[in-house]
Amino acid sequence: MRRSAALRSLVRETRLDLDAFVMPLFVGPDTRPNPELPPLGRFSVEELVGEVEGLVRLGVPAVILFGIPEEKDDEGSGAWDEDGIVQRALRALRPRFPELLLLTDVCLCEYTAHGHCGVLRDGEVANDESLELLARTAVSHVAAGADAVAPSDMMDGRVGAIRAALDDAGNEATPILSYAAKYASAFYGPFREAAESTPSFGDRRGYQMDPANVREALRECELDLEEGADVLMVKPAMPNLDVIRAVRESFDVPVAAYNVSGEYAMLKAAAAKGWLDEQQAAVEALTAIKRAGADVVVSYWTKELAQWL
Ligand SMILES: [Zn+2]
C-alpha cells in the first residue's frame, strides 16, 4: 500500500486540512516587518486589514490577535482599554471579514512594563488581583468583535473569572479556548521579541508549567474544564506531542496545540542553511501534531500551508 502516491494517499491516516489552522498575527502602533521570520513581524491596524484580506483569500479560516500597545504600565491597562490596540484591530476587521474567526490572546504581559502576565505585588505576580484585569480584557475583546478568547496567562482561576465576566456581560455564547497546559519553554524566544513581552526580571516558571511534567498538565486541563473552558490548548506543540496525546485521551473536548515561534524558527533557520526542505519538514511536523491528537493547530505556517495545500 506504499507503492504509489495514490495508494499512500488512499490509506493516509492523518490529513492536513486548512480548516483546523489558526494564524497568529501581531498588531501594534506601527508596521515592523520581520524579514527572516515574516509571520513574526507586526502590522499597524491599517496594514493588518490588508494582510488579513490576503489570508482570507487563501482560505485561512481563523486568526488569533496579539497586541503590542503604544505604552506599557505596571497594571497593563492597555489590555482592556476600549481604544486599545487589539480592540481597534477587532473593530477594523469584524465588519470587513464577517466569516473569519477572530480569536484573541488574553494576557497582560504585552501590556505590563515589567513583562509579567499578571500584576505584581512585592515583586511577585499577584494571582487573584490579576484575574479581574484578565476578565475585563476578555470582555472588552468580545465587545469589540472577538468570536472567542484565549487566556494564556496561566493564573489559577482565570478561566472561571473570564467565564463569569463574559456571562455577566451577556456573552454566554462566547467560547473560551484555554492555554491549559502552557509550559515554561525556551521555544518562545522569537515570539517574545515580536510581542516585546520578555519579563524585565525573573522568568515565568512560577506560573507556567515545568516541561518535565505531564500529570500536572492533565490536572491543569481538568481545572480549566471545571471552570468552563471549551477548548484545551497545549503549548508548545512539538516538544509535547505526548502531552497532546494524553490530553486527547483524557478529555472529550476539542484539543488545540500551539506550534510556537521557536518551532517555526528552527526549521526556517535550518532550511535557510540548506539543511532541510522547509515545506516537507513543516508538513511532517504539522502532521505529527495532528496525529498526536490536536483538532486545532495554531501555527505561523498557516499562511504558507494555505499556499502549499
Ligand atoms: Zn503572558
Q: Which of 235, 268, 290, 303 is catalytic?
A: 235
What value does the CA radius of gyration of the chain take, rounded to a whole number of Å?
Answer: 19
For residue 298, list its beta bridge partners: 22, 258
In the annotation, is 235 catalytic? Answer: yes
Question: 154 pLDDT exceeds 90?
Answer: no
From ligand 1's centre to the CA of 192, what distance in Å?
A: 10
Q: Is 154 left (phi over 0), alpha (psi -120 to 50) or beta?
A: left
Here the cell at position 76 is: 497593563
115 three-class SS: coil
pLDDT at 133: 96
What separation in angstroms does the CA of 18 have from each of 7, 15, 113, 144, 300?
A: 23, 10, 37, 26, 13
For each of the domains in the chain, give its residue range(s) and CATH number, in order of start.
5-308 (3.20.20.70)
Q: Ligand 1 centre and the CA of 245: distance in Å?
A: 25
Amino acid at 15: R
Instruction: Name 260's bridge partners.
Output: none
15 has a pLDDT exceeding 90: yes
Measured in angstroms, how far is the CA atom of residue 56 from the centroid of ligand 1? 28
Q: pLDDT (tens digit, 9 = 90+) per residue, 228-279?
A: 999 999 999 999 999 999 999 999 999 999 999 999 999 999 999 999 999 9
Pick the catalytic residue: 72, 182, 268, 290? 182
Mean pLDDT of the chain, nearest integer: 96
* The residue to which cell 451577556 is assigned: 170
User: Ligand 1 centre and the CA of 289: distance in Å?
Assistant: 23
- For residue 170, how many other CB atoms are within 10 A of its CB? 11
Predicted confidence (pLDDT) per residue in 74-94, tens digit: 999 999 999 999 999 999 999
Q: Which of 263, 270, 259 is nearest to 302 (CA)?
A: 259
Instruction: For residue 59, report the distance from its CA to the centre of ligand 1, in Å.
Output: 29
Question: Cα of 5 to ligand 1 centre, how many Å?
Answer: 44
pTM over 0.75: yes
Q: Would you say residue 203 has pLDDT above 90?
A: no
What spacing in Å lies between the alpha carbon of 175 and ligand 1's midpoint? 20
Asked if residue 130 has pLDDT above 90, the reply is: yes
Instruction: Tell me the pLDDT tens digit for each residue of 39-72.
Output: 999 999 999 999 999 999 999 999 999 999 999 9
Q: Residue 77: which residues within 8 A CB-CB, separation 6 or more?
A: 111
Catalytic-residue membership of 303: no
Q: What are phi and psi of 245, to 5 degrees?
A: -60, -45
CA of 151 to the centre of ligand 1 (A): 9
